């Protein structure tokens, strides 16, 4: 994997992402992306002999629990607290937020 980015590389990526970058930003991002890739190359060289592969980076916590089916709230009780409910089919009516 290459460890440097040119201004042209960054400009091409910015165009794909529909970003308008200033010339100074092209230089900055080229350097930053190059640094990130250089570090990724450095990590590729780490000796992982004897390290078992992981399937997940998050371990299970004691607060996790199995799902248990429980009775739900009565629909009429729930809709009674709604300011503008539609009783049938049991929906909450909310103000429109997308025009």
Per-residue pLDDT reduced to its tens digit, 48-60: 899 888 777 777 6
Residue 10, pLDDT score: 93
pLDDT number for residue 62: 67
Asked if residue 14 is part of any domain, the answer here is yes
- Residue 77: band (very low, low, confident or very high) from pLDDT cuts 50, 70, 90: confident
* 62, burial (CB in 10 Å: exposed 0-12, middle 13-18, buried 19+): exposed
Band of the pLDDT at 79, cuts 50, 70, 90?
confident
Specify whether the CB–CB gap between 34 and 4 falls below 8 A. yes
Answer yes or no: is 37 within a domain.
yes
31 vs 25: CA distance, rounded Å: 10
Tell me the residue range of the domain where 30 lies.
7-44
| Number of separate domains in the chain | 1
- Token pair 């709604």 is at which residue? 82
26 in a structural domain: yes
């Amino acid at each position: 994997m290459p460890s440097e980015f040119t201004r042209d590389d960054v400009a091409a990526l910015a165009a794909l992402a529909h970003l308008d970058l200033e010339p100074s930003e092209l230089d900055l991002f080229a350097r930053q992306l190059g640094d990130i890739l250089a570090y990724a190359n450095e990590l590729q060289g780490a000796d992982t002999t004897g390290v078992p592969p992981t399937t997940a980076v998050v371990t299970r916590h004691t607060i996790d629990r199995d799902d248990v089916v429980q009775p739900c709230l009565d629909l009429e009780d729930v809709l009674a607290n709604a300011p503008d409910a539609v009783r049938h089919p049991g929906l909450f009516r909310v103000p429109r937020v997308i025009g």
